[in-house]
Every structure is written in C-alpha cells, then in structure tokens.
C-alpha cells in the first residue's frame, strides 16, 4: 500500500471482529514501531502484547471507571453515548510503555523538559497504526486510563510510563469518518 494512501485511509476503530491476530502480524507491527525516530536513537519504548480475556476485562473495568470520572469532571454530553466495550472485543491490545529516563537532550530544556520520550513513543504508535492498516487491520490509540492503575494491571514498574493502549484487529463496523482542516489555514511560510 502506498504510504500516502495509508496515512489518509487510517481511521480509529471502535468495533472489532473476534478473529485472532497471528504472531507474524504482531511481529511486523512491533517492527514498524521500533523504526520510529527517538532522541539520540535511545528507543524509549517497551511493549506488552495482550490477548488474554482476563487482562482485557481489567482494562475494560478501568476504562469504565475513568469514563464515569471524566464525565463527572467535564460534563461532556457525548460521553453518555461513548462505550468502551471494544476493549473486551478486540483480539489484541498492545500497550506502549515509555521510559522517562530516555528523554535525551530535552532533560536540560527550560520548556517542555523531559517530554521527548513521549514524543518518540507517539511516533512509534503512529507507525504501528499505519503498519496495521497496511496489513488490513484497524486500530485505536486509547488513553482513557489512570497510569498507576494501568501499571498494576500490566505489571509495569513505577519508573515507567504507560503511554497508550493500541487496540488492533479486523474492523467489525465502518469507522467514523473524521474530516481534517486544510493545513494552509494553519501554516505560515518564512521564505
Ligand atoms: C493521544 C491520543 C489519545 C487518544 N485517546 C483516545 C481514547 O482514549 N479513546 C478513543 O476512543 N480514542 C482516542 N484517540 C483517538 C482519537 O479520538 C482519533 O484519533 C480522532 O478522533 C481522529 O479520528 P481518526 O483517528 O479516525 O482520524 C486518541 C488519539 C490520540 C492521538
């Protein structure tokens, strides 16, 4: 698949078929992840591959709890209709864990100090989503969880940062089409 086609066609998916994702496909998605750029090539990521029902159930319960909490804090009406059942339905979740120690030169910065490891993990996540799309799968970048709770569920130590859960599988429904604004309205040129 052409790269620009993959970039434009990839959409977040919130409904999955139960078909398992084979190990070779999982390996290819992880390989795409680690080819992302990172500060001084320090590769500040680790992955947890989740296929078991028990772990997915715990992730679902955590998300349900945070959803209610966020609804109370924000009052966002759309959250009433937002369901997170796909967390139990999806055949595969890959947790992306960042290492805040591996943040490179920005540890000395005045502004945005210590965030570069998160930026690198975000680049890895986008590679994963694009690779999954090119392999005929759909995905979702999911962050509705408390980090301490997620460390406990995943058995990750307190020094590490659970950045996101990436749901992956065959889509069970047409994804929502999300338009984009023309970049020209947000671009200045210094020629
Ligand atoms: C940092 C980040 C966090 C996100 N967290 C969630 C989430 O917790 N739940 C969810 O359903 N979608 C989440 N998304 C997906 C966005 O809602 C989605 O990318 C956006 O609506 C644009 O739609 P598209 O991905 O289909 O183009 C997240 C995306 C990003 C980049």
Q: What is the pLDDT of residues 51-79, one digit of tens each?
A: 999 999 999 999 999 999 999 999 999 99
What percentage of the chain carries pLDDT values higher than 90? 97
Ligand 1 atom showing the smallest separation from residue 180 Cα: 27
Average pLDDT over all residues of the chain:
97
> SS3 for 158?
coil
Contact 184, 120 (CB under 8 A): no
CA of 11 to the centre of ligand 1 (A): 9
Between the two ends of the chain, the Cα-to-Cα distance in Å is 34
List all residues whose CB is within 6 A of at least one atom of ligand 1: 11-12, 14, 140-144, 175, 178
Domains and CATH numbers, the chain: 3-173 (3.40.109.10)
Residue 172: the pLDDT is 97
- pTM beyond 0.95: the answer is yes
- pLDDT, tens digit, 9 for 90 and up, residues 131-157: 999 999 999 999 999 999 999 999 999
* 135 Cα: distance to centroid of ligand 1 (angstroms): 20
Tell me how crowded residue 172 is: count the other CB atoms within 10 A of its CB: 16
| Atom 27 in ligand 1: residue holding the nearest Cα | 11
């Amino acid at each position: 698949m052409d790269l620009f086609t993959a970039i434009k066609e990839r959409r977040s998916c919130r409904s999955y078929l139960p078909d398992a994702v084979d190990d070779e496909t999982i390996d290819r998605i992880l390989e795409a992840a680690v080819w992302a750029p990172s500060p001084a090539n320090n590769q500040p990521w680790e992955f947890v591959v989740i296929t078991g029902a028990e772990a997915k159930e715990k992730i679902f319960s955590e998300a349900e709890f945070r959803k209610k909490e966020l609804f109370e804090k924000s009052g966002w009406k759309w959250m009433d209709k937002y369901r997170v059942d796909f967390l139990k339905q999806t055949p595969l979740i890959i947790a992306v864990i960042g290492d805040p120690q591996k943040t490179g030169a920005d540890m000395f910065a005045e502004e945005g100090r210590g965030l570069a490891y998160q930026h690198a993990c975000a680049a890895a996540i986008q590679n994963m989503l694009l690779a999954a799309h090119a392999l005929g799968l759909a995905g979702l970048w999911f962050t509705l969880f408390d980090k301490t709770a997620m460390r406990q569920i995943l058995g990750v130590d307190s020094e590490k940062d659970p950045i996101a859960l990436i749901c992956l599988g065959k889509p069970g429904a047409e994804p929502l089409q999300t338009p984009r604004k023309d970049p020209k309205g947000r671009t200045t040129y210094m020629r």
